[in-house]
């Protein structure tokens, strides 16, 4: 499947394709990849990132 979307890296309309899906979605995979630069649009859960809170000295 291919779709035309705005690519923020290319800063233009580009063709996006479905990359190979390792999660078993097949043709229903929601992830897309810019066919020019490879920027990915990933739909779904992202890995949790730790939040670092730094206190400021008074």
* Residue 38 pLDDT grade (very low, low, confident, very high; cuts 50, 70, 90): very high
Domain ranges (residues) in the chain = 1-58
Q: Are 1 and 27 in contact (CB under 8 A)?
A: yes
pTM of the model: 0.63
Beta-strand pair 40-41/32-34: antiparallel
Whether 41 and 5 have beta carbons less than 8 Å apart is answered as yes
What the block records as the tokens of 51 is 């939040």
Check whether 58 has a pLDDT greater than 60: no
Q: Can you give the pLDDT at residue 14?
A: 94
> What percent of the chain stands above pLDDT 90?
34
């Amino acid at each position: 499947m291919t779709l035309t979307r705005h690519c923020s890296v290319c800063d233009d309309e580009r063709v996006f394709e479905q990359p190979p899906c390792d999660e078993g979605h097949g043709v229903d995979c929601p992830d897309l990849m810019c066919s020019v630069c490879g920027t990915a649009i990933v739909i779904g859960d992202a890995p949790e990132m730790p939040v670092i809170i730094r206190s400021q000295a008074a």
